[in-house]
Amino acid sequence: MAIAALIIIGAALLLLYALVDPATHLFPRCVIKSITGIDCPGCGSQRAAHALLHGDIAAAWSYNAFMVTAIPFVALMLLAQAMPRHLQRLHRALNSPAVIWTWFIVIIAWWIGRNIL
């Protein structure tokens, strides 16, 4: 039941992103950018996901390069979370304090870097 619900929700989201351009419709805007004018680490992710769904990697990169580069890691995390017994070492490594702190530092660096450049 839960798997069917996830598949239906996933398909609906893919359809939404495939048919609706977030740059031209009433998608939620970033609160941080609205208030401060500063891009947060996730700014541009909706447009980047839309561009990726249409096979436009260059546009996705221009919207949010961090999101594009993080996709393989997130996929690996999801795989390790889905099969923790079969991938125990990978699951343990990806959930280690060192990896978590590294991602935290990288996200903060991305946030600062994208607003300086």
Rounded Cα gap, residues 69 and 85, in angstroms: 27
CB-side neighbour CA atoms (13 Å) of 103: 13
pLDDT tens digits along 22-77: 667 666 778 888 899 899 999 998 889 888 888 899 999 999 999 999 999 999 99
In this predicted structure, what is the pLDDT of residue 29? 78
Rounded Cα gap, residues 85 and 83, in angstroms: 6
In this predicted structure, what is the pLDDT of residue 108? 95
pLDDT tens digits along 68-95: 999 999 999 988 888 888 999 999 999 9
In this predicted structure, what is the pLDDT of residue 26? 67
Flag whether the pTM goes above 0.75.
no
What's the total number of domains in the chain?
1
What element of type H or E holds 83? Answer: none
Integer CA distances (angstroms), 55 to 50, 51, 58, in order: 9, 6, 9
Q: Domain span at residue 6?
A: 2-116
